[in-house]
Homo-oligomer: A and B are copies of this chain.
Amino acid sequence: MSSDISSNFLGPVKDSSSIRLDLHTWPEVDDYLQHCKGIILPLGSTEQHGPTGAIGTDALTAEAVAMEVGRRTGVLVAPTQSFGMAEHHLGFPGTMSLKPATLLALLHDLVLSLASHGFERVFVINGHGGNIATAKAAFMEAYSTVLNRKLPVASRFQCKLVNWFMAASVFTYAKELYGEREGQHATPSEIALTLHLEASLQSKQQPLPEPAPVGPIHGPEDFRLRYPDGRMGSDPFLAKAEHGSEILDKASTALTEDLSNFLKQS
């Protein structure tokens, strides 16, 4: 990493306890804010991931990438928000979803809390496509509140959402490995990352019938009719833990650079 980065980052740390906000004390956060105004917030979802994928896939993966980006940069990582907007998956047992208006309020409040302490850059590492729209809406709502409350950071406060699964290097790698069978939900790439993270998930892997083809996403009933086992064109049986290890590295490298740019930009 370039010296530019080191001037924004506190630099790589040895273990995750050095960057987990939940393992810091408040005076430590106070000190941290003297040197860095950035923080990472992992955002996941708790929703079906096909007949063999873990319901927590989006939270597990977002957290793993966030922790790795944190370790490489020394930027604080907030606890993972494991519940997101998954209304369209509510036709499958185990899905726990926040309505868009609720997620909007939640992210607004979290981001406002950070702004009130003097954080100026909130970097949301997201593991779920369904959160993107609402998160962006929440940021706009938060900017207005920050201004209306005349918080000192008002003119400098910035939030950014990054989706680890959309990093170009991750995307290319997944295409190489899985081609068209990557699909769009319960993808082998995200499943591979969970296999790398949680060995117990390996035992759930099994060959699956041809998935429903990729298509649009609408309401819960429509989704279950269109994608009866929850997969959208994907073949998660192709996933392997070693792919997941590589994906984690690629995603973390890409997002570390994104974070660097985000912290540097005026």
Residues of chain A having any CB pair with chain B under 8 Å: 15, 17, 20-30, 33, 44, 46, 48-57, 59-60, 78-83, 85, 87-88, 90, 92-102, 104-106, 108-110, 113-114, 116-118, 130, 132-141, 143-144, 146-149, 154-160, 198, 200-201, 204, 215-216, 218-222, 225, 230, 265
Contacts and interface: CB of A to CB of B under 8 A. Distances in A.
A92 to B, nearest CB: 4
B105 A90 contact: no
A105 B98 CA distance: 8
A147 B97 contact: no
A65 to B, nearest CB: 16
Contact of A93 (B80, B101, B117): B117
Contacts of A201: 17, 23
Given A25-B51, A137-B100, A140-B85, A93 B105 contact: no
Give the top 8 A-B pairs by smallest Cβ distance, nearest first: A22-B56, A143-B219, A29-B94, A79-B82, A133-B136, A100-B137, A17-B200, A26-B48
A230 B27 CA distance: 10
B94 A221 contact: no
Nearest to A224: B155
Task: Say how many copies of this protein the assembly contains.
Answer: 6
Given A154-B219, A220-B147, A22 B54 contact: yes
A92 B29 CA distance: 9
Nearest to A78: B96
Contacts of A25: 48-55, 94, 204
Contacts of A29: 55, 93-94
Given A21-B46, A55-B21, A95-B26, A87 B143 contact: yes
Contacts of A204: 25
B117 A56 contact: no
Given A25-B50, A99-B144, A155 B78 contact: no
